[in-house]
Amino acid sequence: MRLNDITDNPGSSKKRTRVGRGIGSGSGKTAGRGGKGQTARSGVRIKGFEGGQMPLHRRLPKRGFTNIFKTDYNEVNLGRIQAAIEAGKLDAGQPITLEALLAAGVCAKARDGVKLLGNGELKAKASFEVARASKSAVAAIEKVGGSVKLLVEAEAAAEG
């Protein structure tokens, strides 16, 4: 077999129809777009227009709402933190806070704080100052001799 013997399967590709090329072609004059008006033009067509009838998306009721007080945390797994410590981006001797994680590139944006998740393995003894932490993450940190200080519970206790 040679390179010049290679061909595509028969019927796999079809030539595109060239429209607007005269009466004899079968799709000349209006080029398959029908008569005049909005639909004959390019770039304009009212989406969802139903001939003056109230469109479906306006007939149906709205549902749900957006909670403007929702908290959005950076979710960080222990495995990511361990990788950053091994790479020398995080210092396990210093308390690991949101600012330290941002500087190390573990978190991209500040958001409303950090939530620790227990996926992965933490080998280094470290102290954390974060907004929230899952039970498995706290257990894994305390198992290697570290500590977790939760900032959200401290704020709630101060308010109440």
pLDDT of residue 47: 82
How much is the pTM?
0.60
pLDDT tens digit string along 104-139? 999 999 999 999 999 999 999 999 999 999 999 999
DSSP assignment letter at 3: G
Instruction: Tell me the C-alpha distance between 83 and 77, whole Å.
Output: 10
Pull the structure tokens for residue 26.
């079968």
| Domains of the chain listed by start with CATH number | 74-159 (3.100.10.10)
pLDDT of residue 154: 67
Q: Which residues contact 92 (CB under 8 A, 6 or more apart)?
A: 85, 124, 125, 126
Q: Kindly list the averaged pLDDT for each block of 10 residues, start to end, along the chain of length 160.
A: 92 92 92 87 81 92 93 95 94 93 94 94 94 95 95 71
DSSP assignment letter at 1: -
